[in-house]
Amino acid sequence: MSPGNSGTPPTAIRVVFALLPDSLALDWAGPAEALRIADRLLEAAGRPWRFDIEFVAAAPQLRSSVGVQLAGLSPLPTDWDHRPTWLVLVGLPGRRIDVGTPAARDLLHWLRGQRLAPGRVELLTICGGALLAAHAGLLAGRRATTHHHHLDELKAAEPACEVVTNRVFVLDAPVYSSAGVTTGIDLVLHRLGALCGEALAAQVAQTLVMPLRRGPHDPELSPFLAHRHHLHAAVHRVQDAVSEAPQSDWTVPRMAELAHTSPRHLTRLFVQHAGTAPLAYLRRLRLETARQAIRAGASVTQAAQDAGFGTDTQLRRAWHQFGLPGSPARPD
């Protein structure tokens, strides 16, 4: 899938949705739309698009869970090219996943020949797709989750898998599993944030008109994803700009110009819709930018400058103001 007419960029990730008859439509359509939107946003920003989406199956045509006929499906790949690949498995209707059908047996036979490796061939499972991975032997020794209806089924299918309950998604590279249906979008947003930046993930979620969610096993919501659970376009416009360049010389009047409103009214809108004030939002993004720089090896002084803090003292003050453990020089 290319958003334009040019050839596939060398950095594009091959995203392969492997489908069965009656595959749950939202399991594959939601994540695929999120990736398509990400490519459009990247292209609009003058950056190369990153995702080359294809749908494969044992037959060139099959029926989806909602009765729509899917045609023109590619055959199951016999080998992978040199690009990084995401292999996506999705769920099926019903309380149990039937792996005894001819189509399921063909897919499992193909899956058993796959070799997963971080950054090379990675597995994303959505809902009951984890059951297909388990029956193919891809979850032995892994941590994974699935829809709550299938948790016991997953434990029985692969006793060597540590099945995690009550989770939106579980990360165990190169395996990434989600609980199902809309959580497949949550998982893709997380992978987008890790690959292309959390600001882009926020823009994609905003376009999808959905709240941003991270897995509840994470210790906290990323500041780049927080305060975005609203539908106010002007506030989102300011948040997009600030998250893209938190180190810029932002003031409330400058933010208000983007929102086409007065500084006082922008503050009211932020508090009402985002639950925080504009400058508090900015400081939190700058703090996270500095924290990530320190974790990557930057000095406290360099991290403070790169994040937009005027001095080390301002960084340390923000660090303690927002309750981060340790200190910039000794982060826990």
Question: If DSSP codes are grouped into helix, strand and coil, which group holds residue 7?
Answer: coil
For the residues 252-281, what does the mean pLDDT come to?
A: 96
Q: Per DSSP, what are the bridge partners of residue 85?
A: 14, 121
Q: Are residues 179 and 240 in the same domain?
A: no
Number of domains in the chain: 2
Q: Are residues 17 and 64 in the same domain?
A: yes
Can you say how many angstroms the Cα of residue 80 is from the centroid of all Cα atoms in its chain? 23
Does a structural domain hold residue 113? yes
Q: How many other CB atoms are found less than 10 A from the CB of residue 110?
A: 17
User: Residue 14 pLDDT > 90, yes or no?
Assistant: yes
What is residue 114's predicted lDDT score, i.e. its pLDDT? 94
What is residue 167's predicted lDDT score, i.e. its pLDDT? 81
- Higher per-residue pLDDT: 282 or 194: 282
- Total count of residues recorded for the chain: 332
Q: Are residues 161 and 231 in the same domain?
A: no
Does a structural domain hold residue 17? yes
Q: Which domain holds residue 65?
A: 13-199
Does a structural domain hold residue 234? yes
The two tokens of residue 55 are 């749908």
pTM exceeding the 0.85 threshold for the entire prediction: no
For the residues 74-83, what does the mean pLDDT come to?
A: 90
Pick the range with the lowest mean pLDDT from 196-200, 236-240, 309-313. 196-200
Please, what sign has the CA dihedral across residues 205, 209, 212, 215?
A: negative
- Higher per-residue pLDDT: 104 or 331: 104
Angle, CA 67 vertex, CA 62 and CA 71 arms, to 5°: 30
For the residues 286-303, what does the mean pLDDT come to?
A: 90
User: Residue 90 pLDDT > 90, yes or no?
Assistant: yes
Give the H/E segment covering residue 305: helix 300-307
For the residues 70-76, what does the mean pLDDT come to?
A: 96
Does a structural domain hold residue 209? no
Domain boundary among 199, 234, 266: 199
Spatial CA neighbour of 311 closest among 277, 330, 286: 286
User: Residue 233 pLDDT > 90, yes or no?
Assistant: no
Q: Are residues 23 and 140 in the same domain?
A: yes
Q: Are residues 261 and 195 in the same domain?
A: no
Question: If DSSP codes are grouped into helix, strand and coil, which group holds residue 323?
Answer: coil
What is residue 81's predicted lDDT score, i.e. its pLDDT? 83
Spatial CA neighbour of 174 closest among 236, 245, 123, 241: 123
Distance between CA 328 and CA 234 in Å, rounded? 33
Pick the range with the lowest mean pLDDT from 58-67, 76-85, 215-224. 215-224
